[in-house]
């Protein structure tokens, strides 16, 4: 339980006032993250921080090429390396760079790596495919009926849009540390699914589910790549820990994280679409391909997104395999790729129609999106936008817009709320906080349901022994757990008020709680702490309650303003406005952060990110952070997150939608500035210069 010591609370409840639109938008406007202090002082322990005494350290033996047959390795030399405990080499043919063919376990990380070097596996390379265009070379019609739904169109548009493979690049890599004590174990994992990871570990650990606990109190990012079961890193650590009855540790290094922990698949979109002169949609056909590496599935690019009316669209999607690591869900899977194609396509159509692209969107978008577009246009200064390609200066300014949408989820998961006699409250649920603010959100809804200040509440999450909660995926964590936690906290409150009523020989409905004061018939009756002092020794525990579902979509729009240096081709981001609804906002600061973070990842996707495979060998050439560039502080525009909360109720999705429209809006802004579309992400200087050089009329 949390000590009720003011000193520990000092920075936790301080308002920031620099985002006036968001003042008053949420259940709690002022609260800072409940786990902010451990994070800024370095005391927060992530899975990767658990170096347990006497631990085994595991490294994977990995294929260095896109495709190769394992030939031989110096196993004797590797085994003879001091400190090596066990080695397994499963020689085989590999189909992507980073594919594991076994492991070495040793007494220290240095010993394991020395042995890996001594092993010196030999490989025979085989031919590779490294991208979608190695397989898909032309632009086939969908079906052979000659129908493309464009009959009656006055303006048509056909173009191909492509996006590269993007890696999640979570800063804490994949893996886990296992403390096996023979008949019980503690597993320190880096996961987005506390329960799902636990479910996969009983076998490898050789223990029943009640005999071990999975702990992930802090997770250094995941973005989808840490969903599902324990993964091979943690599974291997669990097996070896069980075998040797000693701790075992396996975490990927940065290169392995890029190579073998999932990615956002590349995409190719062929759009053929028709419009009337006034901008009304006629229809068309949209064919998409997803570059799913060695795995199938996960390549879906959802166009039309439903955010715009495009008429009758004929659709076909295919996954294309090549010699790259398989994809995993990545923040709004399929959507940023699709939005890039869809938004830039709309801007190109608008240019052909001679329409302002925002005016075209106002025609095609739904009601809430239209209101958001209107509001956002004022914030970004859309009226300063110059017509496409009308600027001649070296530095040209462009404006772009895009829309986001995401469905909602219903209540679920289990939760427990405990009220102790000293007034402290603990809310418990077995979810995890991967940076989303889940821990803080649970505290805020508990405090709100009980009618007390947040300082009384502490939150326990990230342990498999807690009441099970959902994984952090699909933006459902908060929409699932917040209603449940609210209902359970309300049940705890009912118990408390009933007890006070019994003791006072009164009716429960005479009592209520507001701002930490218990009221009887509207008059101050007891302070929260006095009321809790009347509880039996064990306090109150509630764990039942059914929450309410938040209805409807989480909609959003974004505007990007940028400058293009036409001499160097470099894009300078200047300003982003991101308006987002998410139902009832729980914590203003963490909600703003989710929006800002989604935008930053979207900008990074737009300008920099590209998992590059060597065309001849299939090896990833930029498996690091120097040449796999992600957006850094120096690249930042001013980002204004706006919480669109008026009239909203229910808890809805927020994590994923803010990263959907960003890259599309950025590409539109570039098109506006230079008058030429760049239809291939990332929007690097060479492509900008090529587009400028392509001159009027030709394809970019």
Partner 1 sequence: MPDDSVHNAPTGPGCGRSCNCGRANADADGLIRDPKSNGDGVSRRSFIKTLGASAAVSSLSATSESRANALLGREVPKSAAMLIDGPEPVDVTLNINGKPLAVKVEPATTLLEALRFHLNLTGSKEICDRGACGGCSVIVDGKLVNSCMMLALDAVGAQVTTVEGLARDGKLDPVQESFVRHDGLQCGYCTPGLVMACRALLNDNPKPTLEEIKKGLSGNLCRCGTYTNIFNAALEASGQAPIMDQKMEGA
Distance, C-alpha 476 to centroid of its chain:
12
Choice between 273 and 643, CB closer to partner 1? 643
Closest C-alpha to 518, from 419, 434, 432: 419
Considering CB distances under 5 to 8 angstroms, the limit depending on partner class, which of ligand FES, partner 1, none binds residue 130?
Answer: none
Which residues, other chains included, contact 117 with Cβ-Cβ below 8 Å and sequence gap of 6+?
Answer: none
One of 188, 218, 275, 382 touching partner 1 (CB under 8 A): 218
Residue 69: C-alpha distances to residues 65, 612, 692 (Å) = 10, 22, 45
Q: Binding of partner 1 at residue 432 (CB under 8 A)?
A: no
Which 96-125 residues touch partner 1, going by CB under 8 A? Answer: 109-110, 113-114, 116-117, 119-121
How far is residue 308's CA from residue 19's CA, in Å, rounded to a whole number? 30
How far is residue 189's CA from residue 202's CA, in Å, rounded to a whole number? 14
One of 200, 230, 357, 435 touching ligand FES (CB under 6 A): 435
Record the tokens describing residue 367, joined without a space.
């009601």
Closest C-alpha to 90, from 76, 106, 111, 104: 104
How far is residue 231's CA from residue 242's CA, in Å, rounded to a whole number? 17
Q: Binding of partner 1 at residue 520 (CB under 8 A)?
A: no
Q: Binding of partner 1 at residue 333 (CB under 8 A)?
A: no
Closest C-alpha to 388, from 399, 378, 380, 377: 399
Choices 35-43, 136-144, 236-244, 549-557 (CB under 8 A): range interacting with partner 1: 35-43
Considering CB distances under 5 to 8 angstroms, the limit depending on partner class, which of partner 1, ligand FES, none binds residue 177?
Answer: none
How far is residue 550's CA from residue 583's CA, in Å, rounded to a whole number? 7
Burial 556-581 (b: 16+ CB within 10 A, else e): bbbbbbbbbebeebebebbbbbbbbb
Choice between 10 and 138, CB closer to partner 1? 10
Q: Binding of partner 1 at residue 572 (CB under 8 A)?
A: no
One of 255, 465, 494, 527 touching partner 1 (CB under 8 A): 255
Closest C-alpha to 597, from 462, 479, 469, 434: 434
Considering CB distances under 5 to 8 angstroms, the limit depending on partner class, which of ligand FES, partner 1, none binds residue 673?
Answer: none
Choices 60-68, 314-322, 389-397, 455-463 (CB under 8 A): range interacting with partner 1: 60-68
Choice between 517 and 621, CB closer to partner 1? 621
One of 200, 405, 441, 597 touching partner 1 (CB under 8 A): 597
How far is residue 375's CA from residue 381's CA, in Å, rounded to a whole number? 10
- Strand (E) positions, 206-280? 212-215, 248-251, 263-264, 266-275
Which 637-696 residues touch partner 1, going by CB under 8 A? Answer: 638-640, 642-646
Q: Binding of partner 1 at residue 77 (CB under 8 A)?
A: no
Closest C-alpha to 111, from 249, 255, 314, 286: 249
Residue 33: C-alpha distances to residues 28, 40, 47, 455, 458 (Å) = 11, 11, 20, 12, 12
- Helices 662-674 and 588-607, axial angle in degrees (round to 10): 50
How far is residue 130's CA from residue 324's CA, in Å, rounded to a whole number? 7
Which 146-175 residues touch ligand FES, going by CB under 6 A? Answer: 171
Q: How many residues bind ligand FES (CB under 6 A)?
A: 3
Indicate the length of the chain as a whole number.
700
Q: Binding of partner 1 at residue 91 (CB under 8 A)?
A: no
Choice between 14 and 699, CB closer to partner 1? 14
Which 277-316 residues touch partner 1, going by CB under 8 A? Answer: none
Which residues, other chains included, contact 616 with Cβ-Cβ below 8 Å and sequence gap of 6+?
Answer: 128
Choice between 523 and 686, CB closer to partner 1? 686
Choices 34-42, 274-282, 348-356, 688-696 (CB under 8 A): range interacting with partner 1: 34-42
Choice between 157 and 331, CB closer to ligand FES? 331
Q: Binding of ligand FES at residue 265 (CB under 6 A)?
A: no
Tell me if residue 518 falls in helix, strand or coil: strand
Q: How many residues bind partner 1 (CB under 8 A)?
A: 96
Ranked by CB distance to ligand FES, the top (closest) residue is 171
Q: Binding of ligand FES at residue 231 (CB under 6 A)?
A: no
Which 556-615 residues touch ligand FES, going by CB under 6 A? Answer: none
Residue 43's φ and ψ, nearest 5 degrees, are -85, -15
Considering CB distances under 5 to 8 angstroms, the limit depending on partner class, which of partner 1, ligand FES, none binds residue 608?
Answer: partner 1
Task: Give me the least distance between CB of 296 and ligand FES, in Å please.
Answer: 31
Closest C-alpha to 350, from 315, 393, 385, 314: 385
Q: Binding of ligand FES at residue 40 (CB under 6 A)?
A: no
One of 162, 163, 601, 666 touching partner 1 (CB under 8 A): 601
HSE-CB of 587 using CA atoms within 13 angstroms: 26
125 sits in which H/E element = strand 122-125
Which 375-394 residues touch partner 1, going by CB under 8 A? Answer: 375, 378-379
Which 3-32 residues touch partner 1, going by CB under 8 A? Answer: 7, 10-12, 14, 16, 18-22, 25, 32
Choice between 365 and 630, CB closer to partner 1? 630
Task: Give me the least distance between CB of 220 and ligand FES, in Å please.
Answer: 6
Q: Binding of partner 1 at residue 43 (CB under 8 A)?
A: yes
Closest C-alpha to 160, from 66, 310, 61, 287: 287
Distance, C-alpha 568 to centroid of its chain:
33
Q: Binding of partner 1 at residue 253 (CB under 8 A)?
A: yes
Angle at 130 between CA 124 and CA 136, to 5 degrees: 130
Q: Binding of partner 1 at residue 434 (CB under 8 A)?
A: yes
Task: Give me the least distance between CB of 39 and partner 1, in Å please.
Answer: 3
How far is residue 279's CA from residue 361's CA, in Å, rounded to a whole number? 9
Choices 82-90, 487-495, 542-550, 595-603 (CB under 8 A): range interacting with partner 1: 595-603
Task: Give me the least distance between CB of 635 and partner 1, in Å please.
Answer: 9
Tell me the CA end-to-end span of the chain in Å, nearest whole number: 62
How far is residue 53's CA from residue 55's CA, in Å, rounded to a whole number? 5
Considering CB distances under 5 to 8 angstroms, the limit depending on partner class, which of ligand FES, partner 1, none binds residue 289?
Answer: none
Q: Which residue is listed with tokens 């996960």?
A: 298
Choice between 379 and 504, CB closer to partner 1? 379
Q: Which residue is listed with tokens 């003879």?
A: 80
Sheet holding 155-163, edge to edge: 155-163, 266-275, 281-293, 312-321
Considering CB distances under 5 to 8 angstroms, the limit depending on partner class, which of ligand FES, partner 1, none binds residue 624?
Answer: partner 1
Task: Give me the least distance between CB of 222 and ligand FES, in Å please.
Answer: 10
Choice between 435 and 469, CB closer to ligand FES? 435
Considering CB distances under 5 to 8 angstroms, the limit depending on partner class, which of ligand FES, partner 1, none binds residue 76?
Answer: none
Choice between 402 and 435, CB closer to ligand FES? 435
Q: Binding of ligand FES at residue 221 (CB under 6 A)?
A: yes
Q: Binding of partner 1 at residue 569 (CB under 8 A)?
A: no
Q: Binding of ligand FES at residue 304 (CB under 6 A)?
A: no
Task: Give me the least distance between CB of 220 and partner 1, in Å please.
Answer: 3
Beta-bridge mates of residue 159: 271
- Residues 162/290, Cβ–Cβ less than 8 Å: no
Residues that bind ligand FES (CB under 6 A): 171, 221, 435
């Amino acid at each position: 339980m949390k000590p009720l010591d003011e000193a520990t609370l000092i920075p936790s409840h301080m308002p920031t006032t620099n985002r006036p639109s968001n003042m008053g938008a949420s259940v709690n406007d002022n609260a800072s993250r409940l786990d902010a202090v451990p994070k800024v002082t370095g005391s927060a322990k992530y899975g990767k921080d658990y170096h347990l005494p006497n631990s085994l350290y595991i490294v994977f033996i990995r294929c260095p090429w896109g495709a190769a047959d394992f030939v031989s390795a110096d196993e004797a030399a590797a085994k003879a390396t001091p400190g090596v405990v066990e080695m397994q080499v499963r020689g085989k043919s590999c189909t992507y760079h980073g594919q594991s063919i076994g492991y070495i376990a040793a007494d220290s990380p240095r010993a394991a790596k020395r042995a890996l070097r001594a092993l010196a596996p030999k490989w025979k390379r085989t031919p590779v495919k490294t991208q979608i265009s190695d397989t898909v070379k032309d632009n086939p019609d969908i079906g052979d009926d000659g129908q493309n739904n464009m009959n009656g169109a006055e303006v048509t548009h056909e173009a191909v849009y492509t996006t590269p493979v993007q890696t999640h690049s979570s800063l804490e890599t994949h893996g886990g540390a296992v403390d096996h004590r023979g008949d019980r174990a503690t597993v320190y994992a880096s996961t987005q699914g506390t329960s799902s990871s636990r479910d996969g570990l009983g076998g490898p650990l050789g223990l029943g589910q009640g005999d071990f606990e999975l702990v992930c109190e802090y997770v250094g990012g995941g973005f989808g790549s840490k969903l599902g079961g324990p993964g091979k890193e943690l599974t291997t650590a669990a097996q070896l820990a069980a075998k040797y009855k000693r701790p075992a540790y396996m975490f990927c290094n940065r290169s392995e994280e890029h190579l073998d922990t999932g990615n956002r698949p590349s995409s190719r979109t062929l759009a053929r679409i028709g419009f009337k002169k006034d901008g009304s949609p006629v229809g068309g056909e949209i064919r998409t391909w997803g570059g799913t590496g060695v795995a199938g599935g996960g390549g879906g690019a959802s166009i039309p997104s439903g955010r715009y009316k495009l008429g009758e669209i004929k659709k076909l999607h295919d996954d294309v395999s090549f010699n790259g690591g398989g994809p995993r869900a990545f923040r709004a899977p399929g959507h940023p790729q699709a939005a890039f194609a869809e938004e830039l396509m709309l801007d190109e159509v608008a240019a052909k129609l001679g329409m302002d692209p925002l005016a075209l969107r106002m025609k095609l978008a739904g009601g809430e999106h239209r209101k958001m577009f209107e509001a956002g246009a004022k914030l970004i200064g859309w009226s300063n936008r110059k017509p496409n390609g009308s600027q001649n200066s070296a530095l040209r300014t462009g404006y772009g817009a895009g829309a986001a949408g995401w469905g909602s989820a219903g209540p679920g998961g289990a939760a427990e709320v405990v009220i102790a006699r000293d007034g402290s409250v603990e809310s418990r649920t077995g979810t995890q906080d991967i940076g989303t603010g889940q821990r803080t959100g649970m505290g805020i809804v508990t405090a709100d349901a009980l009618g007390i200040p947040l300082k009384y509440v502490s939150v326990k999450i990230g342990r498999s022994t807690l009441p099970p909660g959902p994984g952090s995926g699909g933006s459902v964590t908060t929409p699932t757990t917040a209603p449940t936690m609210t209902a359970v906290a309300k049940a705890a409150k009912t118990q408390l008020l009933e007890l006070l009523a019994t003791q006072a020989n009164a009716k429960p409905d005479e009592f209520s709680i507001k701002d930490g004061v218990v009221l009887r018939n509207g008059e101050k009756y007891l302070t929260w702490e006095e009321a809790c002092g009347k509880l039996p020794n064990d306090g109150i525990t509630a764990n039942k309650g059914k929450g309410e579902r938040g209805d409807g979509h989480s909609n959003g729009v974004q505007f990007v303003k940028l400058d293009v240096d036409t001499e160097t081709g470099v894009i300078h981001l200047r300003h982003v406005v991101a308006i987002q609804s998410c139902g009832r906002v729980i914590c203003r600061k963490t909600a703003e952060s989710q929006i800002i973070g989604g935008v930053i990842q979207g900008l990074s996707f737009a300008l920099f990110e590209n998992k590059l495979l060597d065309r001849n060998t299939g090896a990833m050439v930029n498996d690091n952070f120097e040449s796999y560039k992600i957006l850094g502080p120096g690249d930042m525009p001013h980002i204004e997150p706006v919480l669109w909360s008026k009239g909203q109720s229910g808890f809805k999705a927020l994590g994923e939608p803010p990263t959907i429209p960003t890259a599309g809006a950025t590409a539109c802004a570039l098109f506006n500035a230079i008058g030429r579309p760049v239809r291939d992400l990332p929007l690097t200087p060479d492509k900008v210069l090529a587009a400028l050089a392509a001159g009027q009329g030709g394809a970019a």
